[in-house]
Homo-oligomer: A and B are copies of this chain.
Amino acid sequence: MTLTPAGSGALRPVVIGVDVGGTKVMAAEVAIDGTVTRVARRATPGRRVDVALLEDALSEAVLEVADGRRVAGVGLAAAGFVDAAGERVAFAPHLPWRGHQVRARLTDRWGVPVFLDNDANCAARAESAHGSALGAADALVLTLGTGIGGALVVGGALHRGRNGMAGEFGHTRVVPDGRDCECGGHGCWEQYCSGNALVRAARAAMAADGPLASACAGDPAAVTGPMVTDAAHAGDPAALAAYAEIGEWLGIGAANLVACFDPSVVVVGGGVSAAGDLLLEPARAALGRSLVGAPHRVVPPLLRARYGPEAGVVGAADLVREGLGRHARPRA
Contact = CB atoms under 8 A, between A and B. Distances in A.
A310 to B, nearest CB: 26
A172 B176 CA distance: 14
A276 interface: no
The quantity of this chain's copies bound in the complex is: 2
Contact of A296 (B91, B173, B293): B91
Q: Contact residue range for chain A?
A: 35 or more
Contacts of A168: 259-260, 262, 292-293
A252 B165 CA distance: 18
Contact of A252 (B159, B171, B173): B173
A257 interface: yes
Contact of A261 (B164, B166, B298): B166
A138 interface: yes
Contacts of A259: 165, 168-169, 171-172
Interface of A: 81, 90-91, 138, 150, 152, 154-155, 159-169, 171-176, 183, 185, 188, 252, 255-257, 259-264, 290, 292-293, 296-298, 300, 331-332
Given A155-B155, A161-B263, 7 more contacts: A138-B159, A155-B331, A162-B263, A162-B297, A166-B261, A185-B292, A260-B260
